Chain A
Amino acid sequence: MSNSDSGTYVSYLDYEGKHKGLMGWLLTTDHKRIGLMYLYCVIVFFFVAAIIGELMRIELIAPGETIMKPQTYNGMFTIHGIIMIFVIVIPALPAIFGNFFLPILIGAKDVAFPKLNLFSFYLYLIGAIFGVLSQFIGGGAPDTGWTFYVPYSAESSTNVIYALVAAFILGFSSILTGLNFIVTIHRMRAPGMGWFRMPLFPWSLYATAWIQVLATPIVGITLLMVIAERVLKIGFFDPALGGDPVLYQHLFWIYSHPAVYIMILPAMGIVTEIFPTFSQKPVFGYTAILFSSLAIAFIGYFVWGHHMFTAGISYGSRWFFSFLTFLVAIPSAVKVFNWVSTMYGGSIDLKPPLLFAIFFIFLFMIGGFTGLTLGSVATDIQVHDTAFVVAHFHYIIFGGMGFATFAGIHYWFPKMFGRMYNNTLAYTSSIVLFIGFNMLYFPQFILGIQGMPRRYFDYLPQFQTGQVISTIGGFILFAGLLIMVGNLMWHARRGVQAPANPWNGVTLEWQIPSPPPHENFDEIPEITHAPYLFGTGSDNKTI
């Protein structure tokens, strides 16, 4: 199938159902349109949070007050965290690429509950708006940090409640998306697609969805308890009223650590799709990758205590959580070896998506290894709550999940919009992003080891060199973002028409026209073989 027969079908972008024009988008139940609506929202909110991040970097370019007051700075890092975590990195990958490609990759016409899917989107939008509003109205921006640690979050006179409500609503949206995906994967796979013939991106979404469903309610009730504590003065967590602040930290991290895997698992799934395609070689160790996803999801539940090594938990639980944290590194490393081995001996075509995916491995490894530094009790006590932690989780979240998102958008862009982007600009943006990213965050490892605390508005003069390099890196990174988003947005409408299969991929999304028609498949495909079979005859490429 190529685009030459585009006259004979109507793409989902042009499809007109019961509602037309704008309403055709706002009231759509088409998983692809919902995926795109998420994409646009994520881009908008990402720029809000990124600009806030840049403002913090400018503040830190010199010791003392530079452009904002300490209280403003507290609000900035709180809102930056809330938007980035709850509005962007937790929902983004399942909501954008999961919605768009999960049904296509398993050969279905839509998700199991299309209306629920739209409902999740609106919950997401309401939650996100609450989050942004909390910055601007009433008592001032919340200043608790995105973790809402009590007792301070119960006492702070700022808009903590708005932020809590935002996180609660976003959590509910996340639960419904996860539920939808689990049911979709269980019941909507095309005939012949047994569990072990399913591509690995759906597998990673499956592992993610279980975390979303089983961990999110815990943070939901925890946030409700903090709201009750503020409004009704119940005192679950306030020691003055008999409560226990460490209990809050337990409940919060029981969700929020698995949430890290909600972010990273789909990211790993995306690059797992990219490596075979651009190496023209079956993925190395399909089963190992699949089970490592499930293992990460499972072990990830039992490592939350490593956020609390300095919070006064017992000696026994510290070594227990430390041990489990080291254990979770194993399945992550299994994946890295599999990606590298997939490329080994393949015919590598270094297109922009692959370049981003390779950057992903590099940055994710730095993030992962420094994670072990933090996971071992002795070193954690040294660097706890320093810039080292900030650098570590930005390497995982931005370097890992962020770069995988960029890889994914460059990989699937031709399919989503039916157009090609400019390759030169894509290469430029990826290299600028990579350089800017490392300049921004690598100095923070060193600053952290030297003793620069996180969340501080001010610092001693000896840290200035590192802070200046970091701020310059921030600007380079931002420039890279502008080039990338500009390239993509410009070419989404004006680019060269994309063929159905520009990368010579073999998974199902490449067997249908670009952009896909309204219900993806005219006829539900019959699956007769494992995914990722390349070049062993043309038969396995067609369905």
Chain B
Amino acid sequence: MSTQAIHSERIESETGKLGMWIFLFTELFLFGGLFLVYAVFRAKYSADFHTGAQELNTFIGTLNTVFLLVSSMTAAMSLTAIQKDKKNLAIFLLAMTILLAALFGMNKYFEWSHKFEFRLYPGSEVLKNLPHGELLFFGLYFMMTGLHAIHVLIGMILLSINIFKIKNGEVSSTHYLHLENSALYWHLVDLIWIFLFPLLYLIT
């Protein structure tokens, strides 16, 4: 590869990364709106939020936090692996990331279905009869974790695409922008969870 080509490759990758970073900022602002609403209602109904948070299972929450933190690490390691041209290792680490994400999703599924068993879902009679603050707490809980779960799914899809791209050579030790951006996205998913976890589970 000529120096000219390496140069333009670098410029293209810088451009792609700048775009991704700006996109991540918009994602932060998207969740920022919810955090703002959370802050307002938490200030207004702090006792009810306290009661509501006791219904959440801190153990599952902690486990999920560990899953996501480790998955963020494996995603970053996978990027380093591809930069060092270790294709199989990179694929393995990506698969680990996706597995951990799936475990996170599974936990979330059990957690939600447990709530549904107790009829603690938006619009249910049980929830309607709760104090306003608890109603809003569960509303925010489902809205925030739901929106986050959608992001987890999108992240899983993005990472899976990278496995194929590594296999057919589109992502390689010289062209890894796609993997880098997907990993950035995955870190964002992780970052948002780091805020959701204490705000929803640990305020008891």
Interface residues of A (CB under 8 A from B): 112-113, 116, 175, 179-180, 182-183, 186-188, 213-214, 216-218, 220-222, 224-225, 228, 232-236, 241-244, 247, 251
* B-side interface residues, number (CB < 8 Å): 35
CA gap between A179 and B16 in the complex, in Å: 11
CA gap between A214 and B133 in the complex, in Å: 30
CA gap between A214 and B30 in the complex, in Å: 9
Asked if A217 and B33 sit within 8 Å, CB to CB, the answer is: yes
Asked if B136 and A186 sit within 8 Å, CB to CB, the answer is: no
CA gap between A401 and B136 in the complex, in Å: 41
Asked if B33 and A221 sit within 8 Å, CB to CB, the answer is: yes
Asked if A179 and B22 sit within 8 Å, CB to CB, the answer is: yes
Nearest CB of A to B105, in Å: 20
Asked if A243 and B136 sit within 8 Å, CB to CB, the answer is: yes
Q: In the complex, what residues of B have CB within 8 A of residue A218's CB?
A: 29-30, 32-33
Q: Count A/B pairs, Cβ under 8 Å.
A: 97
Asked if B14 and A187 sit within 8 Å, CB to CB, the answer is: yes
Give the interface segment out of B34-42, B60-68, B86-94, B158-166.
B34-42
Say yes or no for B18: interface residue by CB 8 A criterion: yes
Asked if A112 and B29 sit within 8 Å, CB to CB, the answer is: no
Q: In the complex, what residues of B have CB within 8 A of residue A186's CB?
A: 18
Given contacts A233-B123, A242-B45, contact A214 B25 (CB under 8 A): yes
Say yes or no for B126: interface residue by CB 8 A criterion: no
Say yes or no for B19: interface residue by CB 8 A criterion: yes
Residue of A nearest to B28 (CB): A217
Contact of A234 among B14, B44, B122, B147 (CB under 8 A): B122
Contact of B142 among A179, A213, A234, A241 (CB under 8 A): A234
Say yes or no for B203: interface residue by CB 8 A criterion: no
Q: In the complex, what residues of A have CB within 8 A of residue B123's CB?
A: 232-234
Nearest CB of B to A354, in Å: 36
The contact sample of 6 A-B pairs, CB cut-off 8 A, is: A183-B18, A216-B26, A218-B33, A220-B30, A242-B41, A244-B44
Say yes or no for B177: interface residue by CB 8 A criterion: no
Contact of B15 among A187, A224, A225 (CB under 8 A): A187
Given contacts A183-B19, A213-B25, A235-B139, 15 further A-B contacts (CB under 8 A): A180-B19, A213-B22, A214-B29, A218-B29, A218-B32, A221-B31, A221-B34, A232-B139, A234-B122, A234-B123, A234-B135, A234-B142, A234-B143, A241-B136, A251-B37
CA gap between A519 and B73 in the complex, in Å: 42
CA gap between A186 and B17 in the complex, in Å: 12
Nearest CB of B to A458, in Å: 38
Residue of A nearest to B45 (CB): A242
Asked if A241 and B37 sit within 8 Å, CB to CB, the answer is: no
Asked if B33 and A113 sit within 8 Å, CB to CB, the answer is: no
- In B52-108, which residues have CB < 8 Å from any A CB? none
Q: In the complex, what residues of B have CB within 8 A of residue A251's CB?
A: 33, 36-37
Q: In the complex, what residues of A have CB within 8 A of residue B140's CB?
A: 236
Asked if A247 and B136 sit within 8 Å, CB to CB, the answer is: no
Nearest CB of A to B151, in Å: 13
Nearest CB of B to A448, in Å: 33
Q: In the complex, what residues of A have CB within 8 A of residue B27's CB?
A: 217
CA gap between A414 and B132 in the complex, in Å: 62
Task: Tell which of A113, A222, A242, A251 has the most Cβ of chain B within 10 Å.
Answer: A242
Asked if A113 and B19 sit within 8 Å, CB to CB, the answer is: yes
Say yes or no for B11: interface residue by CB 8 A criterion: yes
Q: In the complex, what residues of A have CB within 8 A of residue B122's CB?
A: 228, 232-234
Contact of A221 among B30, B131, B142 (CB under 8 A): B30
